[in-house]
Amino acid sequence: AALATEPEALKAALLARLADPVTPAEHRAKADLESGDFLPGRGLLDMKSGLAVGLAALEAFAAVPERTGNLLFVAVPDEEVNSVGARALADALPQLQADHDIDLVAAINLDAIADDGDGSHGRAIALGSVGKLLLTAFVVGQPSHACYPFSGVNAGALGAALAQELEWNPALADTAQAQAGMPPTLLSIRDGKAGYDVTTPETAFLIWNVLSLGRGAEETFASFRALVDTAAERFAEKLTERQRVVMGDAIPSPQKALVIEAATLLGLAKSDAANRAALETLAGRLASEGHSLPEQCRQLTEAAWRCSGLRGPAVVVGMGSLPYPAVALGDDPQGARLREALEAARNRAVLRTGQPIRIEPFFQGISDMSFLGQAQVADVPFIAANTPAWTSGVRWSGQVCHLPTINIGPWGRDYHTPLERLYTPYAFDVLPGLVLETAMGVLEQKR
């Protein structure tokens, strides 16, 4: 009885806090909670309600007297912990199928969707999920005293030139399958100085989020490197132009930065046995200390640069984290079976509720579908070679489940905030039946 009152107590507390709303988000939250159609709770929308939908479908399936096949419910740590659970499932699945003599034919992911409108966007089934690469640039300059800037090349300024060139650049927006892919955006830029002094930064490190609808990693990386090279060339030309205004031709023009791939740099550094051992020791230590994957890659790249014997200015282009392969529902017989079952279940749900439910080609956020679905992973060795922390920090075999996979999830608003809330009529009254009927439709066809 005490547990049953907790949502109402939380709702009352939030409404008291929102008595005088200020921001648009607060006004919307107040109206939602007063409507009675939204249930508040941190983690409720992302992802507890999706898991509850799966359990409800499983319970209803178990009550069917003469059911066909079986449903397997798997709860895994989410993608915000680098999809540890989904990757472990992909590795364990072959043995699981052998041990239990089962033939897995499809998967339904239960990820949530945020919708600040009337729910028409949130009521959606996704046939695939976007992919993601975390692209990085380790910038090496030639430090100088601030009173004598022409004596060097400022790594921070060169990094800023890269950031300007790449931000929203359509050359890195994947337009596969006639979809409008999102262009890249910068997630982090920092120099390597430990504290304040009047020496220009020697190094800088930048990280970009780059999404994919199916474009291969090698093609994406080649475009990325070309943009970095263009930015480095323009930067050197701009510095030359400005230096000549002050100094004429009295001193040499600034050198254009060398652009080198992380795989090439690591190969150079590890060609010496002592350097290789030192880098492996550092990699193990960074992983054991719990540094983020991008930070592990930054420190390993810096160490490899010190070992390489190369000199700046330079930019080392690489990757800084676990990749999320783009996944799409295939046209093979298993994919067609799942598509037919979900369309039939969707049509019945629309007739029952009078509410449209859309079918979208891609779930727009990264998700565990990347490791459950029919993803292309041929580029994984290339990605691994350019990710310095691959064997020590990422530790992914490249295995995916290769199951036809779709996403059917709840919707709500403001997840990851104190105002997170679930739209209950769809989550409680529509989704369990939609998930169950889709699953049963696949199993009936398989029979």
With a cut of 70, list the residues of the chain below it in pLDDT. Answer: 1-5, 78-80, 176-180, 446-447
3-state SS, 106-169, equals: CEEECCCEECCCCCCCCCEEECEECEEEEEEEEEECECCECCCHHHCECHHHHHHHHHHHHCCC
pLDDT tens column, 187-227 = 999 999 989 999 999 999 999 999 999 899 999 999 999 99
Q: What is the DSSP secondary-structure string of 289-340?
A: TT--HHHHHHHHHHHHHHHH---SSEEEEEE-S--B--EE--SSHHHHHHHH
The two beta strands, 203-212 and 131-140, are antiparallel
pLDDT tens column, 86-141 = 999 999 999 999 999 999 999 999 999 999 999 999 999 999 999 999 999 999 99
Count of residues for the chain?
Answer: 447
Residue 1 pLDDT = 41
Model-level pTM?
Answer: 0.88
The alpha-carbon radius of gyration of the chain (Å, integer) is 26
Residue 2 pLDDT = 46
